[in-house]
Structure 1
């Protein structure tokens, strides 16, 4: 799988320079994963591309991988969201593979104005699996 930031079926690309991932020795994840571009039709008013973030989130070891189920409980307990114009909740699964690829697959939830959208983000951890 390659690096991507796919929102609503459109690959906006990954901005590796604006993205960062840190996993502590105890498995605590802090990550900011930035798209490279804004969705079509938003460039006039969007100040920055979408950003998926996880702050201080404990990952669960599952064999050679680490995982997190992002559900209502995880969203209530930790700082997890997609930021694009405003903060929107996400639901899905985050996996860190042994080859150093971090993958989130799930949904950006509806905020009452915007419909729910499929979200797939994959970012290679620098220094792993290169």
Structure 2
């Protein structure tokens, strides 16, 4: 079989609520965050299979992200982003992962502030 470019999984606009920030009102109240994930992996077997074991299961990754975000507190957007990135690149097949997290209404005149982090094998 000829070598193919990696398959790319994108989870777009995963909307969650978490405790994020250092101000008193941020510590006391959950805030909305929007998470975008991009995960690259070879998918050699999944291209010709109908077996879920041959694919990187994006549902499993997404459930782990939801669990992390909703059940923890974060002072810094950087820490939250790195923790989500750690989940995104945990599977041994992953060759590249990118996470962007938007903290909505973080600044008065902006829709959001976002943080992006990447990992590459």
Which category describes the TM-score, using the shorter chain as reference length? 0.3 to 0.5
Q: What TM-score comes out, normalization by structure 1 length?
A: 0.34
* The structure with more helix, counted as a fraction of residues: 2
* The structure with more strand, counted as a fraction of residues: 1
Q: What TM-score comes out, normalization by structure 2 length?
A: 0.36
Structure whose alpha-carbon radius of gyration is higher? 2
Q: Which structure has more RCO (C-alpha within 8 Å, separation ≥ 6)?
A: 2
